[in-house]
A and B are shown apart, each in its own frame.
Chain A
Amino acid sequence: MHRHRKNFLAMKTIEQYYEPYNFSATRCYVFTLDIGVKGFLRIEHKLPAYVRNLKEIFVSVSPKNKRVGVDYMKASVPKTPIVAGFITLNFNGQSLKCFQCAVLQTLYLNDCSNPLPFNELINRNSFIQGFFIQNTTFIESRFSYRISIYLHYLP
Chain B
Amino acid sequence: MGYPKIKYQHFTFKVETPSQEIIIDAETDKLYNTCTGINVLLTDENAKFSTLQLDMNGQEIFPENFEVLRLQFRQHVPFGFDYHSLKEPAGGSKLKGTYKDVAGALSYPYFVTFSLRLENLECTDTGKIS
Contacts and interface: CB of A to CB of B under 8 A. Distances in A.
A21 B85 CA distance: 6
Contacts of A116: none
B77 interface: yes
A18 B67 contact: no
Nearest to B37: A20
B37 to A, nearest CB: 8
B70 A58 contact: yes
A28 B64 CA distance: 10
A20 B36 CA distance: 11
A65 B38 CA distance: 27
A31 B83 contact: no
Contact of A106 (B45, B60, B69, B76): B69
Interface residues of B, number: 36
A73 B61 contact: no
Interface in A91-140: 106, 110-113
B74 interface: yes
Q: Is the interface of A mostly helix, strand, loop or mixed?
A: mixed
Interface string B38-73: 100000011001000000000011111111011110
Contact of B104 (A23, A29, A63, A111): A63
B70 A113 contact: yes
Given A18-B78, A21-B84, A24-B87, A73 B106 contact: yes
A81 interface: no
A18 B81 contact: yes
A27 B60 contact: yes
A53 to B, nearest CB: 16
Contact of A148 (B62, B67, B77, B86): B67
A22 interface: yes
The 7 closest A-B pairs by CB, nearest first: A69-B104, A66-B103, A22-B85, A62-B49, A24-B87, A18-B81, A30-B65
Interface of B: 18-19, 37-38, 45-46, 49, 60-67, 69-72, 74-78, 81-88, 102-104, 106
